[in-house]
Amino acid sequence: MTIEDQIKHYMAENILFSDNGFEYEHDVSFIQEGILDSIGVLELVDFVKNTFGVEVYDQEVTIENFDSVDKLADYIRRKLAVNENQAANEKMPFAKSLSA
Amino acid sequence: MVLRCFPLEFRLKHALAAARFCARLWTSLSLGERSQITHNLLSLDKKLSKDNLSRIISSHYETHSWNFVINDLLPHLNSSQIKSFSEVHGLKHLEDALGKGRGSVLLSAHFGAHAYIILAVLRAYGCPVKAVLGQELRPEGNASRFYRKTIDPVRSSPRRVLPILDRGLVPPTDIAAPLKRNEALFMLGDMHLTEKQVALERQVLPVPFLWGTARVRTGPMRLPKLLGAPVLPTFSVRRNDRVIVEIEKALNLSHGRSRQDLTADMRLYLKRLEKRIRSAPDQWGHIRHENIPNWIRPCPGLGNTRIHSDKTKLGPQFI
């Protein structure tokens, strides 16, 4: 299941209460289409934290990161990449000190 | 407006007399609206006598007028002045709920006193509470000059002195912040949305209410469930020149956040509201609205004709 599919599945089940899945294109704005309300944004943040194990800071909860399936998937990929880099650095403290 | 010429204490002391005068004027001017209320009340109880109907309608207008008079005073009143016309029952329930350390949602309704008055009363009694409320809808172009210049500014004036988070305008994290600080958040849970609004807002579920189905926003239930905050139904009753705010025991909510869970949880809250409406229909703000037909089964005696003369078209957002 791709990140996009996971987002769509969550949105359909928990935000839209839809039996027909997520019926929008990946670039459709959640806010402009009324797909997300304020509480929905908080629920989406909770979903991202729990499903992908990434830390979401308040200043990152923006339209640029959370307003469509595409934007959110990109954001999650960026956060996962940061997590992977950090994990790699922790495993190789020698490489970290070299890069510093 | 004339009342504003008098000192604050005088206006507060004679708020009920002023409300009664306004109510009489309002009742005699809005015959269409009276028919709507009669229709709705008879749907609640077909056996209501003519005398009872008349008494309930008068009391309904008196409550609305009293809200209006107090709303006009509210920005200028201090805590002891607010306490002089109010009581809060059930503070222990709020204390217990806050003891869990996850904040509390006080879920209220368009019942009894105006939302702004309830919020001001709770704060006067020392409750750490903020409110999430929709913005006041501006009256449309066909609203009368009197409404635009007098009624509307008075209705919305307490907003400037109360800690209100505008739903849809403040960042979502700000809405969650009071609960995370273990404070109370006041919200309204009885909004029935029109077909048009449902098309614009997707987080709406049909929930059984009275004899029909109300299409309600689920936000006021989803937020506390997300953060694990208890939900305490909070209603108010106006009795003559006093308002009694009653904080009820926390609802026993389901554990999930699925459609079925949310429907069951909203139903729990609406059941408590139903009980209030049945015992004091005059206090229910929506009883005079024509946008509640799905809540009320058409009454055979009156046919399906609905007479309504609300020129302001404020719709279901009316607070």
**Nearest residue, CB atoms, A42 vs list B176, B205, B259:** B176
What phi and psi, each to the nearest 5 degrees, are found at residue B224? -60, -35
Position B39 confidence tier, pLDDT thresholds 50, 70, 90: confident
List pLDDT tens digits, range B69-100: 999 999 999 999 999 999 999 999 999 999 99
Which residues in chain B touch residue A43, judged by CB atoms under 8 angstroms apart?
A: 222, 226, 257
CA distance A92 to chain B (A): 36
C-alpha gyration radius of chain B:
19
Alpha helices, DSSP H only, in B74-218?
79-83, 91-98, 115-124, 145-146, 152-156, 172-180, 195-200
Contact A42 B172 (CB under 8 A): yes
pTM of the predicted model as reported, rounded to 2 decimal places:
0.85
Q: What pLDDT, on a 0 to 100 scale, did the predictor assign at position B311?
A: 30
Chain B contact present for A39, CB below 8 A = yes
Alpha helices, DSSP H only, in chain B?
8-13, 15-29, 31-44, 50-73, 79-83, 91-98, 115-124, 145-146, 152-156, 172-180, 195-200, 219-227, 259-279
- Which residue would you say has higher pLDDT here, B274 or A98? B274
Distance (Å, rounded) from C-alpha A38 to C-alpha A50? 19
What is the block-wise mean pLDDT of chain A (100 residues), using blocks of 10 residues? 94 87 92 86 94 93 93 96 82 60
Chain B contact present for A61, CB below 8 A = yes
Q: How far is CA B1 from the centre of its chain?
A: 24
Contact B226 A13 (CB under 8 A): no
Structure tokens at B173: 């994290």
